[in-house]
Copies of this chain bind each other. A is one copy, B any other.
Amino acid sequence: MQYMRIVGRLPDRHGDELTARTRLRDAALECFAVDGFGVSVRVIAERAHVSPGLIRHHFGSKDALRGECDEHALSTLRRLKESALSAPAGTFLAQLAQVRDYSAYVLYILRSVRDGGPAGRAFLEHMIADAETYTDSAVDAGIVRPSRDSRARVRYLVMEGIGGLIVALGQHPKITMDNIGEVMTQIVAEVALPRLELFTEGLLTDRRMLDEYLLYIGDPPATA
């Protein structure tokens, strides 16, 4: 699970012309990703080597600019997911962060989820929907155990996985597009063993708590 590789043509620009507008949007996305959404339009303009006034001319407002970044990041995430081997959301983002061209998207998406709001929700729902399909496949293939509530399980796994990534990243003093790759590698290495243990052997020694809970909510304990 930890050593899957991203496949397909990753670093293509799929027809994005490098107009001044897209360059400005990309600069904004990077600033939002690294410095947060509180970053000023001056800093964004500076990174794009243009004047602050040009942002308004092209996008109208800072919020509208962020909206375009949201859209672009989501469509990029969608496109990459299609061309990549299915992997748990956290693992996929960790791998994607290694690719220099996409580290900004990873940071942007994680920051959006971290800060909540509509954009973060959209990213999360996309990752959950995606995880649903490949978890179903894994259950059909006999790799993953069936669940009594597979939708609740996939939501739980994605939200805790992404949440763990966010918390772990927050422990590092200054995340940039240059160090995000190695930081992610370190985090993935730290959770690899406990996660595989938990996923393979569980945590509790007996079924009592689960069976009691199933009784409590009115479901019969599983016979397995």
Residues on A facing B (Cβ under 8 Å): 1-2, 38, 113-117, 120-121, 124, 142-145, 147-149, 152-153, 155-157, 159-172, 190-207, 209-210, 213, 217, 224
Contacts and interface: CB of A to CB of B under 8 A. Distances in A.
A171 B2 contact: no
Contacts of A164: 156, 159-160, 163-164
B210 A171 contact: no
Nearest to A187: B159
A32 B207 CA distance: 42
Contacts of A113: 167, 170
Given A147-B194, A197-B148, A200-B209, A167 B162 contact: yes
B144 A204 contact: yes
A199 B202 contact: yes
Query: Within the oligomer, what is the number of copies of this chain?
Result: 2
A90 to B, nearest CB: 9
Contacts of A114: 114, 166-167, 170
Given A164-B156, A170-B115, A194-B156, A204 B199 contact: yes
Closest 9 pairs between A and B when the two form their complex, measured CB to CB = A163-B163, A116-B170, A160-B164, A156-B194, A153-B194, A163-B167, A200-B210, A199-B203, A202-B202
Given A143-B204, A148-B193, A2 B199 contact: no
Nearest to A174: B116
Given A147-B197, A148-B193, 13 more contacts: A116-B171, A120-B171, A143-B204, A143-B205, A144-B205, A145-B205, A153-B194, A156-B164, A156-B190, A160-B161, A198-B202, A199-B203, A200-B209
Contacts of A172: 116
Tell me which of A165, A191, A207 has the highest count of chain B C-beta atoms within 10 A of its own C-beta: A191
A173 to B, nearest CB: 8
A68 to B, nearest CB: 22
28 contacts: A114-B170, A116-B170, A117-B170, A120-B171, A143-B205, A145-B203, A145-B204, A145-B205, A147-B197, A148-B193, A152-B190, A152-B193, A153-B193, A159-B164, A159-B168, A160-B167, A162-B163, A162-B167, A163-B165, A163-B166, A193-B213, A197-B210, A198-B199, A198-B202, A198-B203, A200-B202, A200-B207, A201-B207
